[in-house]
């Protein structure tokens, strides 16, 4: 099925504008945050997910990190994209880190595949970024809110959820990225 490149490009433009002054939590050269959401979208496309899921991957952090509303996403990209983005958004950033992550994982337990796929690709890219930071000679845990053990534990809990319904090729990518981080 051909991709709707205009719609995907529009999502990339929204993400680039909304994340304009944001950077990844990596030491060394600042990496624009939009590279993360673009990578998530590309991964979803590479794994054959439909445009709405790809677009949700591109926009998955806009509500949580930029103030864009679910209603604005719905108006610009439709109900399905808005529903996926909303499901991938931590609902209460005022809670402590551990509680936010626990609630997010609990929320994913009954989520449909398209929501799990966006979350999985998000986490794959995060894991790869952690490994790349270490490969560049930096401490990958220094810029994160928690150290290695709680981070790996969280990624392992998510793997158990992803294994229930995601395709093996996506799970293989997740396991590979997680194994690289476990080995740090």
Could you give the number of structural domains in the chain?
1
Alpha-carbon distance 7 to 4, whole Å? 6
Give the residue numbers spanning the domain of 60.
Answer: 5-182
CB contact set of 127 (below 8 Å; sequence gap of 6+): 155, 174, 177, 178, 180, 181
Q: Residue 157 maps to which CATH number?
A: 1.10.3210.10
In this prediction, residue 180 carries a pLDDT of 97
In this prediction, residue 116 carries a pLDDT of 99
Angle between helices 70-77 and 5-18 (to 10 degrees): 150
> What is the pLDDT tens value at each position of the chain, 184 positions in all?
789 999 999 999 999 999 999 999 888 788 999 999 999 999 999 999 999 999 999 999 999 999 899 999 999 999 999 999 999 998 888 899 899 999 999 999 999 999 999 999 999 999 999 999 999 999 888 888 788 999 999 999 999 999 999 999 999 999 999 999 999 9
Phi, psi of 183 (to 5 degrees): -80, 0
Alpha-carbon distance 171 to 5, whole Å? 27
In this prediction, residue 27 carries a pLDDT of 83
In this prediction, residue 170 carries a pLDDT of 98
* Active-site residue set: 64-65
């Amino acid at each position: 099925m051909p991709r709707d490149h205009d719609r995907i490009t529009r999502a990339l433009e929204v993400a680039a504008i909304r994340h304009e002054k944001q950077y990844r939590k990596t030491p060394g050269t600042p990496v624009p945050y939009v590279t993360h959401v673009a990578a998530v979208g590309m991964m979803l496309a590479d794994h054959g997910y439909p445009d709405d899921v790809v677009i949700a991957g591109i926009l998955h952090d806009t509500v949580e990190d930029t103030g864009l509303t679910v209603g604005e996403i719905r108006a610009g990209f439709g109900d399905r994209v808005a529903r996926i983005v909303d499901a991938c958004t931590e609902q209460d950033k005022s809670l402590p880190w551990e509680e936010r992550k626990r609630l997010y994982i609990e929320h994913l337990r009954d989520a449909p595949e398209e929501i799990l796929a966006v979350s999985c690709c998000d986490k794959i890219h995060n894991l790869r970024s952690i490994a790349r930071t270490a490969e560049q000679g930096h401490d990958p845990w220094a810029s994160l809110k928690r150290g290695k053990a709680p981070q790996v534990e969280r990624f392992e809990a998510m793997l158990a959820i992803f294994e229930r319904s995601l395709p093996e090729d996506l799970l293989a990518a997740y396991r590979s990225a997680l194994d690289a981080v476990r080995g740090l």
